[in-house]
Structure 1
């Protein structure tokens, strides 16, 4: 009887893709499950996140709970937290700690114990492979395709570049195209391009993200698929890139922007490479071809030195741009970063209040955007079904609760709908099959 290995994933889409790839490496010899957290598995692989102190706390909490549920299970911690503080993970109960390089060799290191985490792997590895999965993570309908790894930015609040690597590694265009072809042959309809910082795609091999997307558009324009891009910085959204995304029907009419703030003062303090005007220009570029083009974004409140005027600019911009969804965060002090040593740190209770204010503005922004979409005809890709109807996302990344129709619709199938109303709690829309 095969032993059971459970993968529990924290953080970004890149982690989900890598968890799936690691699971595929182990699947010939183990029974693989995902997100089983009740202590019933023999081995747990926790693919960790270190973007905030809260993310790290959740990892430690999970390790302690699993050890309490089943003291005989082996716990393997990998990912960004494993690079940031491997000793702490070992201390709270991890039997084996693997860094972001070592996770690629999990099949070889599985039986080991201790710490195998190289904090400076990018300095002495000329080339290392990107982990590309063959199947979706768990039982999901979309598949994540990592095409880039590494970041060379110097944002004052972030330490991910030290954990993911300062060397840019890209999956060559030819391999990206082959991977997409393989996914289409397997019947997958939604492919999500992901990376540490997609804007740096091709820096290591003289290719560019614009050239890649244009090639993908040309190669698969006649296929019934959807290509989604996880996250881009505003300065990457040129008019040419916007033209490409709006020219081919396979590209989702949605972009997630890594913005963090709208105040020029705060953006400069964060050491971002853009200002508020550039953010607006990027969104104008995208909506020039389709006024419904949706925007989601990451935003941080409570950064050192943030004052009432900065908050006003932040809140006004969210509402004015009709952002579909805000991934909201309180500034989290990260030891070793420039921002951790800045003056005028905001107290925790004040950051909590500011986050609450921003969430209310974000909800209003979402409602305004969705109201503008009422009556629109869109194409939904089914993700699940129940007695109450179907659930899926359209090309604008809007979640749909779809009323049943006499036509039988399977999971992973595209179908046309018309948006009739907003769903409860402003989470998405209700639509009807055409």
Structure 2
């Protein structure tokens, strides 16, 4: 039996697609491992990311490292990086390069070598969103892709070159079929994912709000939890927050593709909201539920970011508490508007601002978690350390818990939050 290790970089959609690829290869009698990165396999398949130059550097470094150890090992690189720089991947040593369409039909290419990338595959009649039948790498949570494509054209992003400007959405009936299948496998957490979930249902009379409403109606009494992976701030309104907040099965949490606060930077990024709107949005969310969990992505050092722009970002973090933030130093991406902008920020300034930002992120998160002390919540256990008598899992606010008990994996428990730690909170079972 041939062995293949599937290594995934980037987003949750990539993880879902890697699982789908693995399921197809298993039908061809491949033995599948995920993110193993060991030497005992015949093939390495890298599902790539092109969001940052650092992601691309790591992918090329991995390819070279594998080839130095064993030139005969076949390396397959698929996904977004294949759409933006085939030549770099060939130079690094990739034997087979597949685009985001071709990787979905891996069975047709696995024995080939060369480059197979349809650069505008989203216009291909064969193109659709493919859904895996089980969680990625046997995880306890399931990533359910329901959308692909984006219409935003943000000035710093080149994912649109790799995923397209045509929205593809999964039909409601197919989503329900997938949920039913996952429920039958006793999986209790489902995360909806896509390139830009705000556009789910675009061009139809159905959208994400209606989907959430229908899921609440159909599965509201089930022993399951749903989470939305990432949304743009301008999609969020009072109705949407209340839908999540009043639900017994959706997490009281949103992850925002926020990026910045300053009007100057948001405008240059091509975002469709401003600082005033963000203050109104956060005030509204916390007026509905002061415990509501908000996580976000932020970019520091975007071209033209002045000290005043950066201070506005800091001030926002001091005013509002975030459950967590993923912060990135701006990475210039070829063929984007931002790469051609004047006033590029020097690396040393970006690095220094990131240090300052991280301190404020930690303080913001600490204040949010502190606000949760003594609150009763429900945790889904996903890891049990029997040796040290601890159990771990996430609650409905997407907060990570350490519990001083040996509990049953993949079960819900009512707990009370006692204290905070470096990874989340410490709680005890009620």
Question: Given the two structures, how large is their TM-score scaled by the length of structure 2?
Answer: 0.97
SS at match of 2:108: helix
Structure 2 Cα separation of the partners of residues 200 and 58 of structure 1? 31
2:427 to 418, 422, 431: 431
Query: In 1, distance between residues paired with 2:188 and 2:365?
Result: 26
What is residue 284 of structure 1 aligned with on the other side?
283
Give unpaired runs (5+ residues) of structure 2. none
Q: Secondary structure at the match of 1:415?
A: strand
* Cα offsets for 1:379-399 (capped at 9, x unmatched): 111111112201111111111
Question: Offset of 1:127 from its aligned partner?
Answer: 5.2
2-structure distance, mates of 1:324, 1:69: 42
Q: What is the match of residue 272 of structure 1?
A: 271
State the shift of 1:223 in Å.
Answer: 0.6
Unaligned stretches of 5+ in structure 1? Answer: none
Whole-angstrom distance in 1 between the partners of 2:401 and 2:25: 35
1:139-184 CA distance string (max 9 Å, x none) = 3100000000000111111111111111100001111111111111
Do 1:170 and 1:204's aligned partners in 2 also have CA atoms closer than 8 Å?
Answer: no
**CA offsets, 1:99-131, max 9 Å, x none?**
1111111111111101011212224x1451212
Kept in 2: contact 1:38–1:66 (CA 8 A): no
Structure 1-normalised TM-score? 0.96
Q: Structure 1, residues 13-62: CA drift from partner, whole Å, max 9, x if none? A: 00000000110011121111111112221111101100010111011111
Match for residue 417 of structure 2? 419
In structure 1, what is the equivalent of residue 180 of structure 2? 181
Paired residues of 2:121 and 2:127 also in contact (CA < 8 A): no
Q: Secondary structure at the match of 1:288?
A: helix
Kindly report which structure 2 residues correspond to 1:216-227, keeping only aligned pairs within 5 A, or say none.
216-227=215-226
Match of 1:393 in 2: 394
Aligned to 2:329: 330
Q: 2:203, 2:19 → 1: CA distance?
A: 25
Residue 383 of structure 2 corresponds to residue 384 of structure 1: yes
Q: Is the 8 A contact 1:37 1:66 kept in 2?
A: no
1:270: how far off? 0.5
**Structure 1 SS opposite 2:283:** helix
SS at match of 1:33: strand
The equivalent residue for 2:253 is 254
Q: Deviations over 1:272-323 (max 9, x none)?
A: 0111222233333433332101111000010111011111110111221111
Residue 65 of structure 1, CA deviation? 1.4
The equivalent residue for 1:33 is 33
The question of 1:201 aligning with 2:197 is answered no
Cα drift, residue 339 of structure 1: 0.7
Cα offsets for 1:311-354 (capped at 9, x unmatched)? 11101112211111111101111110111111110011111111
Aligned residue for 2:360?
Answer: 361
Matches within 5 A, 1:208-219: 208-219=207-218
Q: Deviations over 1:333-377 (max 9, x none)?
A: 111011111111001111111111111110111111111111111
Rounded to whole Å, the distance in 2 between the matches of 1:204 and 1:60 is 38
Question: For each residue in 1:189-220, what CA deviation from the matched residue of structure 2 results, as whole angstroms up to 9, or x when unmatched?
Answer: 00000000000000143311111111111110
Alpha-carbon distance in structure 2 between the residues aligned to 1:350 and 1:50 = 24
Query: 1:113 is matched with which residue?
Result: 113
In the TM superposition, residue 88 of structure 1 has moved relative to its aligned partner by: 1.1
Aligned residue for 2:53? Answer: 53
Helix, strand or coil at the partner of 1:27: helix
CA–CA separation in structure 1 for the residues paired with 2:269 and 2:222: 41
Aligned counterparts of 1:249 and 1:122: Cα–Cα separation in 2: 36
CA distance, structure 1, for counterparts of residue 92 and residue 126 of structure 2 = 33
**Shift of residue 70, structure 1, vs aligned partner:** 2.8
Contact 1:304 1:346 in 2 (8 A): yes
Structure 2 residue aligned with 1:9: 8
Distance in 2, Cα, partners of 1:70 & 1:142: 35
- Could you say if the C-alpha distance between residues 178 and 288 of structure 1 is closer, same or farther in structure 2, counting changes exceeding 3 Å? farther
Distance 1:335 1:58 in 2: 17
Preserved contact between residue 226 and residue 249 of structure 2 (Cα < 8 Å): yes
Deviates more, 1:48-57 or 1:314-323: 314-323
Contact 2:382–2:409 (8 Å) recurs in 1? yes
Moved over 6 A (4+): none
Q: Which moved more, 1:356-365 or 1:285-294?
A: 285-294
Aligned 8 A contact 1:305 1:344 in 2: yes
What is the rounded CA distance, in whole Å, between the counterparts of 2:391 and 2:88 in structure 1?
A: 44
